[in-house]
Amino acid sequence: MKSGLETMAGLSLQPLEPFGLAVTSPGANLRDVPVSLLRQWTRSNGVVVLRGFSPLTKEEMVQYAGTWGEILTWDFGAVLELLVHERARNYLFTPGNVPLHWDGAFARVVPGFQFFQCLEAPWPGTGGETLFTHTPTVWQRAPASQREEWRKVEISYTTQKVAHYGGQVTVPLLSRHPHTGATTLRFAEELNDESVKLNPLFIEIAGLPADRHAGFLQELREALYAPRVCYVHAWRDGDMLLADNHALLHGRNAFHADSPRHLQRIHII
């Protein structure tokens, strides 16, 4: 992607830092942008932010996502309403942070894409940004000694099914993107000191001596949160966002308890 503003068929394209692509087209309808083009942009940029497009109703969102491919449905249906619950039983539905993870670790299939729409953004300066880490770049930046260690690691993840996901899975740290072939990292962090401790995830590391576990985790987190690989998205009302779930990990900054924050999310296989 060339730097600077480009226009194509009425769309303004702007690269994001450190990765990603912003597409703006005030008042345009998302359905008028070819799906093949958006899919290609999402694969090559990791994240595509769509700003200024006409809002979609929940039904229109489902119908639109269906033009991309099969939708992964959950016990709530196709659209996850991400907002604070008054009596939350899982940290996702609190104003707390969400550590890095990939979606679908416990599902029958890992979805290829996430499609978000922001109905109500947090007030500016109150947090609630979504973080995306580009793991193929994390791998490319890793020194040979770290790569060697990462190749040995397999992690078991356990969480109780209180919300729509849960169970136990064991996943190698390194994986291969099923479409681009890039080396990716699959990792989900445990809740940390700042998190709201509801329905936590537990991890167990295999492949390394026990006295390396803490150092491995610390170095991995440093690599995943390095500013060069981590795009921080501050939501605005009406934003839509497409993300490559196979390539990226994502999480959320905590936000002010009084601030609104309402996102809708669909998984496309």
Task: Give the residues lining the site for Fe ion (CB under 5 A).
Answer: 103
Distance (Å, whole) CA 231 – CA 192: 20
Q: Shortest distance, CB of residue 261 to Fe ion, whole angstroms?
A: 14
Nearer to Fe ion, 33 or 80 (CB): 80
Q: Shortest distance, CB of residue 207 to Fe ion, whole angstroms?
A: 25
Nearest residue by C-beta to Fe ion?
103
Q: Shortest distance, CB of residue 175 to Fe ion, whole angstroms?
A: 17
Pair of tokens at residue 171: 């996943």
Pair of tokens at residue 78: 């196709």
Asked if residue 260 has a cis previous peptide bond (ω within 30° of 0), the answer is no
Nearer to Fe ion, 103 or 129 (CB): 103
Which amino acid makes up residue 57?
Answer: T
Distance (Å, whole) CA 197 – CA 160: 13
Q: Shortest distance, CB of residue 3 to Fe ion, whole angstroms?
A: 30
Nearer to Fe ion, 103 or 244 (CB): 103
Nearer to Fe ion, 103 or 149 (CB): 103
Distance (Å, whole) CA 139 – CA 186: 11
Q: Shortest distance, CB of residue 103 to Fe ion, whole angstroms?
A: 4
Cβ atoms of 241 and 48 within 8 Å: the answer is: yes
Beta strands in the chain (DSSP E): 6-8, 11-15, 21-24, 47-51, 71-72, 80-82, 98-101, 113-120, 130-134, 154-159, 167-172, 174-176, 183-185, 202-206, 230-233, 240-244, 248-252, 262-268
Give 243's strand partners.
47, 114
Nearer to Fe ion, 103 or 189 (CB): 103
Q: Shortest distance, CB of residue 214 to Fe ion, whole angstroms?
A: 25
**Looking at the chain, how many residues does it have?**
269
Q: Shortest distance, CB of residue 98 to Fe ion, whole angstroms?
A: 7
Nearer to Fe ion, 103 or 239 (CB): 103
Nearer to Fe ion, 13 or 88 (CB): 88
